[in-house]
A and B are shown apart, each in its own frame.
Chain A
Amino acid sequence: NAGVMQNPRHLVRRRGQEARLRCSPMKGHSHVYWYRQLPEEGLKFMVYLQKENIIDESGMPKERFSAEFPKEGPSILRIQQVVRGDSAAYFCASSPQSNQPQHFGDGTRLSIL
């Protein structure tokens, strides 16, 4: 019973490039959450999605960031025109229902050169 799968584990991009982070939730989970962890800080909520719908994007920066969770395939967090400040660990979590505990993936560590 695989857990939440994120890839890649590490991603290096140059300033101005695009970063795509993927998350496959646990089997049977239709609720996906993205969090960002800056060095030596806690996790900050970014966005909450269900299949094909964005439920809460109150933590997403207004520009350059977008997220989707299509009917088929993984959830994608997309960062356009990356800047140094985007360097962080991005974690995905999933749950079977919104009131159930969230299970986390191992994260994608994004480094911007």
Chain B
Amino acid sequence: GNSVTQMEGPVTLSEEAFLTINCTYTATGYPSLFWYVQYPGEGLQLLLKATKADDKGSNKGFEATYRKETTSFHLEKGSVQVSDSAVYFCALRDPINTGTASKLTFGTGTRLQVTL
């Protein structure tokens, strides 16, 4: 079955540091890949997505590239801010032509804490 593996947290960084959160996946075919962010007490917000190999999703300074050869979708940001402190979830969705097309499979999440 499908699975998503994320690096364990928490990740603690100083403001303006470079961020990488690793995400690898197992799936058949070409799934769509997503990063969601969850702030304390809130639901998940879609951060960025990529639907095919070599696509780069980007939003709010975050970016991730769909790497089919390494089955990875690592999240990066060049300079983090205190306001980026949250839990980040990597997720995949099966290609639309499979019977399980719509449900999302999530990683366990990586907590990011940014300090001044």
A interface with B by C-beta (< 8 Å): 4, 6, 31, 33, 35, 40-45, 48, 55-56, 58-59, 91, 93, 95, 98-99, 101-107
Contacts and interface: CB of A to CB of B under 8 A. Distances in A.
B49 A101 contact: yes
Contact of B102 (A42, A44, A98): A98
B27 interface: no
Contacts, number: 61
B42 interface: yes
A33 B107 CA distance: 17
Interface residues of B, number: 22
A104 B46 CA distance: 8
B41 interface: yes
B104 A102 contact: yes
B73 interface: no
Contact of B44 (A56, A59, A98, A104): A104
A29 to B, nearest CB: 12
B99 to A, nearest CB: 8
